Chain A
Amino acid sequence: MIEVKHIYKSYEESFVLNDVSVRFDQGKCNLIIGRSGSGKTVLLKSIVGLIEVDEGEIWYDTLNFCHMGISARQEIRKEMGMLFQGAALFDSLSVEENVMFPLNMLTSQSRGEKLDRVNFCLERVKVAGSNALYPSELSGGMKKRVAIARAIALNPRYLFCDEPNSGLDPETGIVIDNLIRELTEEFNMTTIVNSHDMNSVLEIGDNVVFIYKGCKCWEGTRQEILHTDNEALNNFVFATNMARQIKQK
């Protein structure tokens, strides 16, 4: 479980996050949705501590992340996996070395054990056999899969995904979304996914938080999202004319 309480973040004069409080439960896919530039990435990076918030608290179960020093944070981070918007694979390393990287750095397993784990993860995200390829040789969807494999290599308790299906076609996007949901249930992780894509909301959103101009504007399940009377959310969900007409019927 991750809980953020009243966090604020501003750059220069403008507020990017304004009094956001949310609770993200374990074993569920928690979605943060909102338009481009609404502050989703800033929120996610604040939660993992890549951005320091100006005010507010971030709780990992019973630990207050904001009051921790660097070394205590590093301990929690060893239980985090994160999928970045551009996958962020290390381009000087092969697929196998990328997935093995966290194992090399943070465990003292033997090479055989590590290789087994790498192959298990690669198989789990359905890119088995591409061990020797380099990131520049992978398609967008494969990069995301390998990045997911790297994120789950250490059996994390928390999984963070920043726009996992941006830049992918709708079908591949859904495959990635479903992969994230399956992994969440399989390993009982606390998963937080950023998205601006309605497909993923309807596919995997157990708990959906709508961020509008840096504020939490709405929260609910994916079933509820279609029947809300929140205007900003409706504009987001039914962005096209056609969708609006369908809703009116």
Chain B
Amino acid sequence: MHLLTQIGTYFLLMKRSFSRPEKYSVLYLQTMREIEKVGINSFPIVVIVSLFVGAVITIQTNFNIENPLFPRYIVGVTVRDSLLLEFSSTMVALILAGKVGSSIASELGMMRVTEQIDALEVMGINSASYLILPKIIAAVLFFPILCLLSIIIGLVGGYLSCIWANVIPPSEYIYGIQYAFYPYYISYALTKMAFYALIITTVSSYFGYYVQGGAVEVGKSSTRAVVQSSVLILLANLILTRTILQ
């Protein structure tokens, strides 16, 4: 499809998704379900990845600046800032694009090809608002929590590597992660994550909602959803970093 048509269709779909829901009680219930699906179920992967990455950044940073002129606590500062500025928002978002994006696109795609979306429409229900809006709300609310979790677990990972791999003395690390700390970085990370949540859910919903064909097309559209959301996340990262961190 032509790129402009695609963008137009995407915005029309978003307009339908954000129209007044049939019943607020249904929206609430659906959102709770989605929070479980996109949020709670992503806990394990975020925890595992953040723990290991936190540990690895600590070891690598120490290795790279093994210079007696630098105080050791610099390692802690670097780990904290890497997590806050890039890893826990952008990298975690890319991982979630793979996990959540593909599941949204294939769920909606399957509903499309088995005519479940048509069935909703024939009942007189706005299928876009019923299916997509709860996903968007759930992700925008919950992804920042995952981001916060990732920061904390990443820092824990670094600490554990100090203890078990004798990278730097744990006390230096603890001092480092508190040294020259801007709380502003946290809101920066959370804001970015909320934008990424919007990108992942809306882009994946778009690709799933407009599938035509059968199982093969559903698979293709879910791949496309992941690729396109990842590219858009990187692009948004550039723009957001430029505008927020002036």
Interface residues of chain A, those whose CB is within 8 Å of chain B, are 45, 48-50, 70, 73-78, 80-82, 84-86, 88-91, 101-102, 104-106, 160
A sample of 11 cross-chain residue pairs with beta-carbon separation below 8 angstroms, ordered by A number, consists of: A50-B118, A50-B122, A74-B126, A76-B124, A77-B122, A82-B118, A88-B116, A88-B118, A91-B116, A102-B123, A106-B22
A77–B23 CB distance below 8 A: no
Give the residues in chain B near A102, CB-CB below 8 Å: 123
B123–A105 CB distance below 8 A: yes
With CB as the reference atom, state the residue of chain A lying closest to B130.
Answer: A105
B123–A106 CB distance below 8 A: yes
State A82–B23 Cα separation when bound (angstroms): 22
State A70–B130 Cα separation when bound (angstroms): 15
Q: Known A-B contacts: A77-B121, A84-B115, A106-B22. Give 10 more (CB < 8 A).
A: A45-B118, A50-B122, A70-B126, A73-B124, A77-B123, A77-B124, A80-B122, A88-B116, A90-B116, A106-B123
State A104–B29 Cα separation when bound (angstroms): 12
With CB as the reference atom, state the residue of chain A lying closest to B23.
Answer: A105
Residues of B in contact (CB 8 Å), total: 16
Verify if B65 is at the interface (C-beta below 8 Å from A).
no
State A191–B116 Cα separation when bound (angstroms): 21
Given the known interface contacts A50-B121, A78-B124, A82-B122, the answer about A105 and B114 at a Cβ–Cβ threshold of 8 Å is no
A88–B119 CB distance below 8 A: yes
Q: What's the nearest-Cβ distance from chain A to residue B146, in Å?
A: 23
State A84–B37 Cα separation when bound (angstroms): 28
State A89–B119 Cα separation when bound (angstroms): 8
Q: What's the nearest-Cβ distance from chain A to residue B5, in Å?
A: 15
State A84–B156 Cα separation when bound (angstroms): 53
Q: What's the nearest-Cβ distance from chain A to residue B138, in Å?
A: 15
Q: What's the nearest-Cβ distance from chain A to residue B149, in Å?
A: 27
Give the residues in chain B near A105, CB-CB below 8 Å: 22-23, 26, 123, 125, 130
State A106–B126 Cα separation when bound (angstroms): 11
Q: List 7 A-B pairs, minimum CB-CB distance, nearest first.
A: A77-B124, A88-B115, A74-B124, A78-B124, A88-B119, A82-B122, A84-B115
Q: What's the nearest-Cβ distance from chain B to residue A14, in Å?
A: 17
A80–B124 CB distance below 8 A: yes
With CB as the reference atom, state the residue of chain A lying closest to B122.
Answer: A82
State A50–B124 Cα separation when bound (angstroms): 11
Q: Quick one: which of A80, A101, A105 has the most chain B CB within 10 A?
A: A105
Q: From B26, B115, B122, give the contact of A104 (CB < 8 A).
A: B26
With CB as the reference atom, state the residue of chain A lying closest to B25.
Answer: A104
Hey, what's the 0/1 contact readout for B160-182 against A, CB within 8 Å counting as 1? 00000000000000000000000
State A84–B120 Cα separation when bound (angstroms): 11
Give the residues in chain A near B126, CB-CB below 8 Å: 70, 74
With CB as the reference atom, state the residue of chain B lying closest to A73.
Answer: B124
Q: What's the nearest-Cβ distance from chain B to residue A172, in Å?
A: 21
Q: What's the nearest-Cβ distance from chain A to residue B12, in Å?
A: 11
Give the residues in chain B near A101, CB-CB below 8 Å: 123
Give the residues in chain A near B116, CB-CB below 8 Å: 88-91
Give the residues in chain A near B114, CB-CB below 8 Å: 86, 88, 91
Q: Quick one: which of B23, B26, B119 has the most chain A CB within 10 A?
A: B119
Hey, what's the 0/1 contact readout for B98-130 against A, CB within 8 Å counting as 1? 000000000000010011101101111110001
Give the residues in chain B near A73, CB-CB below 8 Å: 124
State A106–B120 Cα separation when bound (angstroms): 11
With CB as the reference atom, state the residue of chain B lying closest to A162.
Answer: B115
State A89–B118 Cα separation when bound (angstroms): 11
Q: From B118, B124, B125, give the contact of A84 (CB < 8 A).
A: B118
Q: What's the nearest-Cβ distance from chain B to residue A194, in Å?
A: 13
Give the residues in chain B near A81, CB-CB below 8 Å: 122
Q: What's the nearest-Cβ distance from chain A to residue B98, in Å?
A: 22
Q: What's the nearest-Cβ distance from chain B to residue A240, in Å?
A: 30
State A48–B122 Cα separation when bound (angstroms): 7
Hey, what's the 0/1 contact readout for B22-46 against A, CB within 8 Å counting as 1? 1100100000000000000000000
